Amino acid sequence: MKRSKSILVLFLCVVVFVVGCTSNKSAEPSSSATTKPTETTEVKPVETEGTEGTKEAPMLAALVSDGKLPPVEERMPVPGDIMIEPVVEEIGQYGGDWKMAWNGPSDKWGIGMITEEALFRFTKEGDKVEPNVAKGFEVNEDSTVFTIHLREGMKWSDGMPFTADDVLFYWEHMLTKETFGKKIYDAYYSVDPVSGEKVLADIKKVDDYTFTVTHKYPSVQFLERVAIDNKWFFAPAHFHKTILPELVGEEKTLEITKQWGFEDPKQFLVETGYYYWLYPQIPTLRPWVAKTDPNSDQFILERNPFYWKTDEQGQQLPYIDRIVQTKIQDPSQRLLGTLSGDYNFGQFGANDFTVLKENEKKGDFRVILWTQPTWSSEGIQLNQTTQDPNLRKLFQDIRFREALSIGVNREEVSDIVTNGLADPIQASVPEGVIGYQEGWAQQWAEFNPDRANQLLDEIGLTQRDRNNFRLNADGSELTLTIYEADPNKNTFLELLKKYFEDLGLKTDIKLVEGGALFDLKYANEVPIHTENISVANVAFRPDTLVPLRIITPWFGHYGLYSQSGGTDGVKPEGDVAKILELWNQIKASKSTDEINRLSDEIYKIHRNNQWVIGYAGPTPAITVASNSMRNIPSDLVSVDEYRGLGHAHPAQFFIK
Amino acid sequence: MLQYSIKRILMAIPVVMFISFIVFYIIQLPPGDYVSSYSAQMTAAGEVMTQADMDQMRANLGLDRPVYEQYAIWIKKIVFYGDFGYSFNYNKPVMDVVKQYMGLTLVVSLVTMAFQYIVAIPIGIYTAVKQYSAGDYFFSGISFLGMATPNFLLAIILMYLSYTWFGDPLLGLFSSEYVNAPWSMAKMMDLLKHLVIPVIVIGLASTADLIRVMRGQMLDELNKPNVITARSKGLSETKILFKYPTRAALNPIVSTFGWSLSSIFTGSTITAIVLNLPIQGPVMYKALLGQDMYLAGSWLLFMSLLTVLGTLISDILLAWLDPKIRTEFRGN
């Protein structure tokens, strides 16, 4: 009796348990059956209609025949003013989704650079700019007056005409009023070669499709600097007229801010004026425009029906219908999704190279390696203005830097940290990038601990403590503190610590949060940091090599000195002062040749001083694209100045 | 009992106020603020942020004011307008962010909880009744394993198996085509399919825990005089089991029920990050990391409120469930 009852109980439990499990399991087959048909409908837009000479995507043609959209000829600029985008491999076909993982709305630039349309963009080689949104330009002999032509009949993504008024509006009401949280960019100032006085340019409208930029002093690199500093030099006047406090009044702006769900009008203007591509309400000139709230779990951008570029056969770009970005919370999910075919495109770091390469066939994708103009992939920067006077003296001593450089076995760093992907070389400008110097990569690159020890003894670090660590010449404790925010740098730092301590230099690694590190950097409290130098051309963007403000660890508070006009920070001396002098000459320079010569000088000073020590050469930027995604260049310089992936001209990517 | 409840509720008010202050203080403790973490992020993305840009941003967001002033403004808004402040990361009021994730968080938590109780209680009873049988050893073994395995590791293993067997790691709660789709039968099915791994992973540890607690309690109760008396009266074995020992053994489970209140509303964090679940846990984690202080602060405040509330509910439930507690209380 008792037994049968307990069996009954057991039976009950098992039933409950099994039911609990099977209710989940039974969901599986039925749901996979229901997802299948939707998958096939998704592929449907990829049809061969494009090859029959259709000038627009089928999805837009349908809207036109429904009367919801004007015909394609009316949507694009006048025939002569349409921009023809050369394709990389072949003429593409319309349709499909470009599926990517994304880190959420804080990753503004990831999607920003892909869809960016600048007034002028860098050529593939990156040595000069070419017209993009602009149709062309003329410049007078002494580089003071730039006449810029726009494309007649070009339209914003909401169909409103794009004219010189949009440029003038941006200049007068946004840029010079500093409404979107940025100071007037340096590019718009010209510099008096004698006094160094900065004068703001003058912008004038000539007609609807022409405007001029007039500088008081020659500004040879104006267009390049605009392409880097400001990228776009226009804004949809008809939209911003309705929100700017200057035009609608503070109260109205506050009201609109609240309507949009923002708290503070200033922050609202930053978001709408600067990060405008994230908001579906704001018209743009980009190939794809936002369709969903960027805060949702999937951010979708859809083709811009008014896009102003075609391929060589006159088909309106872009080829791909939508960009679908799915939010991820951990970088490994990007990898996993790419392997399983969930995403057809992704960009990765060097440490994922092996696993990607292994799965290339199985995952039906290809791994594309793009050059990065970085000086090193693993290295350190010694803060030349670090607070501790003993350390500062050491860091400024070239023998100390040499000792730190030759005291580390680069072969091992390369093998262990970069899978052998990087060369065991010094931090230097890589071959093929502006500023390359022969032999620099080998400078202090050979592993020679004996000489390193000898150098350290020569400097006066001969006393040792109980643990056999070197002491300062005055007998005080000597510790090299390396600050780091990226936990992935751990392997490299452990290795570095071992080599430094072999030399008798006590090394301390401090892992801090990114924001905190940023603050420490500003307070000049970071003696050593692992940031790598990445620069396409110092004349275009000097931030990493010229101490103009606090940003790059090696020059520390020399930057503050320049930034504050000499009232704060540490006064640059010697070679650092020389770099600043050269930079001022570049700014006031009258010819490109002169600029190139002066830039080269700056690179040479860096070579002679090696404030930045590299232990492994640059690694390539790894891009993965599904084999069906075509027209992706295989040889590209991937760098922020050229707008990263945007440099590959994604509008002409297509899905086969 | 009513008097007791009222007293408890009144006592909770200063506790919550004190917690709110501590919360705000702790959030301010780490070096840097939202602007510095934002600037670090933007600089890493290649943007140029000057000191002036940052100062302006701090002024815009009110971060340049002293801490006590920021706290006073925050509390004032909560008390008078029900406004919990503004999330810098999302550019939205905190409540909007919370609302956005609440639905799915509750789905995941409640399904997980149901899974826990449905699985754990019967197994607990079974292993106690059939102590030292093969089944007991089997389930005990499983439950020890479940308690000892870190959740996120199990998540990774299940994702790996799912990827190698079905070619889909089942990340997130929806397949990508359904994320923004309106609700439909197919989307529902897709959600159920994606719920399997999270529910097992998040639920397993507490399920295992519950099995152990239930088994131990049952073993204590099974030989109590009341059970023997009932049996001697000739009551059916099932009736005895459910009327006396099971009821008594549920006590500790009910008393911990209230504590799980805050975890129902936040969901898990690490597991959710590993599995890419769009629920509250990772949102809060991100807020703490990025020093999105009003979002993080509001969340910590909610959680402490819920814990206080949960304890209260547990006490009342216990009094209701267990006649002994009830009478003892009356005796007071």
Could A109 and B282 be called an inter-chain contact, meaning their C-beta atoms sit closer than 8 Å? Answer: no
| Per-residue pLDDT at A516 | 84
Check pLDDT > 80 for residue A560. Answer: yes
**Residue B27 within a domain:** no
Residue B97 is encoded by which pair of tokens?
């962010």
Same domain assignment for residues B76 and B157: no
Domain containing residue B177: CATH number: 1.10.3720.10
Same domain assignment for residues B185 and B56: no
| Contact indicator for A325, A298 with CB cutoff of 8 Å | yes
**With an 8 Å Cβ cutoff, is B167 touching chain A?**
yes
SS3 content of chain B, % helix, strand, coil (to 5): 80, 0, 20
Burial (CB < 10 A; 0-12, 13-18, 19+), residue A170, is buried
**With an 8 Å Cβ cutoff, is B96 touching chain A?**
yes
At A397, which amino acid appears? D
Give A18's contacts in chain B (Cβ within 8 Å).
none
Interacting residues of A390 by C-beta distance below 8 A, sequence separation 6+: A472, A473, A474, A476, A478
| Per-residue pLDDT at B47 | 73
Taking only the tens place, the pLDDT of each residue in A8-61 is 444 444 444 443 343 333 333 333 333 333 333 333 333 333 344 448 999 999
Class for domain A5-86+117-240, per CATH?
alpha beta
Q: Which residues of chain B from 292 to 331 reach within 8 Å of chain A, CB to CB?
A: none
Same domain assignment for residues B36 and B153: no
Taking only the tens place, the pLDDT of each residue in A471-486 is 998 999 999 999 998 8
Domains identified in chain B, total number? 2
Domain topology for A263-370+624-655: D-Maltodextrin-Binding Protein; domain 2 (3.40.190)
Give B170's contacts in chain A (Cβ within 8 Å).
none
Closest C-alpha to A554, from A492, A605, A488, A618: A605
Distance CA B7, CA B2 (A): 9
**Which range is least confidently modeled, A4-13, A461-470, B197-206?**
A4-13
| Per-residue pLDDT at A351 | 82
Model ipTM? 0.79
Same domain assignment for residues B67 and B155: no
- The CB density around residue B110, as the number of other CB atoms within 10 Å, is 11
Q: Which residues of chain A from 563 to 592 reach within 8 Å of chain B, CB to CB?
A: 563
Same domain assignment for residues B186 and B51: no
Check pLDDT > 70 for residue B332. Answer: no
| Per-residue pLDDT at B270 | 86
Could B179 and A549 be called an inter-chain contact, meaning their C-beta atoms sit closer than 8 Å? Answer: no
Give A9's contacts in chain B (Cβ within 8 Å).
125-126, 129, 237-238, 241
| Per-residue pLDDT at B91 | 83
Give A32's contacts in chain B (Cβ within 8 Å).
193
| Per-residue pLDDT at A518 | 86
Interacting residues of B303 by C-beta distance below 8 A, sequence separation 6+: B262, B265, B266
- The CB density around residue B76, as the number of other CB atoms within 10 Å, is 11
Same domain assignment for residues B274 and B244: yes
Check pLDDT > 60 for residue B66. Answer: yes
Residue with token string 């980009």: A286
Domain range list for chain A: 5-86+117-240, 263-370+624-655, 379-616
Taking only the tens place, the pLDDT of each residue in A98-140 is 999 998 877 888 899 999 999 999 998 888 899 999 999 999 9
Tell me which of A320 and B20 has the higher pLDDT: A320
Total residues found in chain B within this entry: 332
At A166, which amino acid appears? D
Please report which confidence band the pLDDT of residue A211 belongs to, taking 50, 70 and 90 as the band edges: very high
Burial (CB < 10 A; 0-12, 13-18, 19+), residue A529, is buried
Query: A379-616 is classed in which CATH architecture?
Result: Roll (3.10)
Please report which confidence band the pLDDT of residue A513 belongs to, taking 50, 70 and 90 as the band edges: confident
| Per-residue pLDDT at A28 | 36
**Residue B12 within a domain:** no
**Residue B318 within a domain:** yes
Same domain assignment for residues B74 and B146: no
Boundaries of domain holding B68: 32-83
Same domain assignment for residues B59 and B155: no
Distance CA A413, CA A409 (A): 7
Same domain assignment for residues B142 and B41: no
**With an 8 Å Cβ cutoff, is A39 touching chain B?**
yes
Contacts A–B by Cβ distance under 8 A: 209
**Residue B205 within a domain:** yes
Taking only the tens place, the pLDDT of each residue in A75-94 is 999 988 999 999 999 999 99
Check pLDDT > 60 for residue A185. Answer: yes
Check pLDDT > 80 for residue A626. Answer: yes
Could A263 and B169 be called an inter-chain contact, meaning their C-beta atoms sit closer than 8 Å? Answer: no
| Contact indicator for A605, A621 with CB cutoff of 8 Å | no
| Per-residue pLDDT at B326 | 63
Taking only the tens place, the pLDDT of each residue in B135-178 is 999 999 988 888 888 888 888 888 888 888 887 778 888 887 78
**Residue B293 within a domain:** yes
| Shortest CA gap A66–chain B (Å) | 24
Distance CA A75, CA A159 (A): 7
- Helix, strand, or coil here: A110? helix
Give B44's contacts in chain A (Cβ within 8 Å).
514
Could B47 and A99 be called an inter-chain contact, meaning their C-beta atoms sit closer than 8 Å? Answer: no
**Residue B153 within a domain:** yes
| Per-residue pLDDT at B10 | 82
| Per-residue pLDDT at A21 | 40
Give A35's contacts in chain B (Cβ within 8 Å).
175, 177, 186, 189-190
Residue B176 is encoded by which pair of tokens?
């990508």
Taking only the tens place, the pLDDT of each residue in A368-398 is 999 899 999 999 999 999 999 999 999 999 9
Please report which confidence band the pLDDT of residue A323 belongs to, taking 50, 70 and 90 as the band edges: very high
Give how far the C-alpha of residue B59 lies from the chain's centroid of Cα atoms, to the nearest Å. Answer: 36
**Residue B204 within a domain:** yes
**Residue B242 within a domain:** yes
Closest C-alpha to B271, from B173, B142, B140: B173
At A80, which amino acid appears? G
Taking only the tens place, the pLDDT of each residue in B39-62 is 887 777 667 777 777 888 888 888
Check pLDDT > 60 for residue B213. Answer: yes
Same domain assignment for residues B246 and B305: yes
Residue with token string 């000489």: A451
- Among A219-223, A260-264, B156-160, name the most confident range: A219-223
| Per-residue pLDDT at B143 | 87
